[in-house]
Amino acid sequence: MKKIWGLLIAVLLFSAAAVPPPVQAADSQLIIINKSTNTLAFFDNGKLQKVFKVATGKNDSLTPEGTFSIVNKIKNRPYYKSHIPGGSKLNPLGDRWLGLNARGTYGTTYAIHGNNNSGSIGKYISGGCVRMYNQDVHWLFDHVRTYTKVKILHSSKSFPVIAASAGYKVASAPAAADKRTGSFFWKK
């Protein structure tokens, strides 16, 4: 009987070690993309960490609006449409891709990504994705977790107000206003 219990315990321990840990929900993070101002805000642990300028769709219908999740993070994604390898200076996607589960896709069509034309940032120019300066998307890529919610909308409200209305728990009063975007941020 002791051998059976010992074998059963060994099997259970081995099974537990073989099962990957559950995916950690990214409820403590939120990204808001305001198409009215072409800005992206990154919240972490209730605080607005950074605001970035972005580019969005050439026309209003191209960049989807709603709440999505980052479902994949890819370095050096190829630009399949024109057969441009990942990491190439010619790649219009830059070298970081944060795929969104928008419009029935699973991070393969819509994303927050870098670009090879920094002059496009701040404009309505993309085919539907959200473009960032490469150094900005590198920072975001390193800080954001998969399954972080991404809210894309048009709004005249501040980022903390948008976040709170989306059910995100925003920390206490902001410390100051960002003069470039009118959004609030917290001092660390």
Residues identified as active-site? 113, 129
* CA distance linking residue 59 with residue 88, whole number of Å: 27
* Radius of gyration, CA atoms only, the chain: 20
The two tokens of residue 110 are 């819509």
